[in-house]
Amino acid sequence: MRTIGLAAMALAATSTASCSAPLACPTVGYSSTLTVELAEPRDDIALELCVTEGCSPRARDDLPADEPIVVCETLDCVTATPTPDEPARADDGIWMLEGDGVDGWSVTIMTGGEVVAYRLVASDGVVLDEGEVTPDWERVGGSEQCGGPREAEVVLG
C-alpha cells in the first residue's frame, strides 16, 4: 500500500510540473546600445543615422524649422551635429545619440532593424561616407525566450 501511495504522489508531482503556467515576459522596457567609431577619427564630422527599416538619414537642414531633431518620418532616426557649445546629443524620447567623431558615438535605441543606415557629413556639408552596416548584435541581458538589451560595435569610414 505504501508503494502505491509513493507512486501516486510522484505521478501527481510530475503532472503538476508539466502543467506549469506559460512563460510570462516582462513588458518591453529595455534599450540596446550601438557603439559607432570612425576608422579615421576627426572632430568636424556629423553623424546621421537611421535604425528603422526602410528609412534613410537626412540632414537637419532638410527638416522644417519647428520639427524636432528626428530625421526620418519615424521617431527612430536622429541627426546629431557636435559643436563646441553643445556636444552631439539628441534625445527624442525613444533613443539617444551622444559623442563625437573623435571618441565615437553611443547610440541608445528601443527598436530598430538589423540594418543601420548612416551618413558622415563634414562641417562644410560635404558627405564623406554613407551606406548601411549590419551590426553583430549580442544580447547582454534578459533571456532567449523574452529578448533583452543588446550591444554592438561598428566602425565607419
**pLDDT tens-digit readout, 119-139:** 898 989 899 999 989 999 899
Report the amino acid identity of residue 143: S
Q: Which residues pair with 98 in a beta bridge?
A: 89, 106
pLDDT at 103 over 70: yes
pLDDT at 73: 34
Q: Select the more confidently predicted residue: 105 or 50.
A: 105
Q: Residues 62, 81, 47, 39: what is their CA dihedral angle, to the nearest 10 degrees?
A: 150
DSSP 11: H
In the chain the domains, ranked by start, together with CATH numbers, are: 32-156 (2.60.40)
**Residue 70 binned pLDDT confidence (cut-offs 50, 70, 90):** very low
The per-residue b/e assignment along 14-38, b for 16 or more CB within 10 angstroms, e otherwise, is eeeeeeeeeeeeeeeebebbbebbb
The average pLDDT across 3-13 equals 56
pLDDT attached to residue 156: 92
The region of weakest confidence among 13-22, 48-57, 108-117 is 13-22
Confidence label for 116 from pLDDT (cuts 50, 70 and 90)? confident
pLDDT at 99 over 50: yes
Cα separation, 14 vs 22, whole angstroms? 16
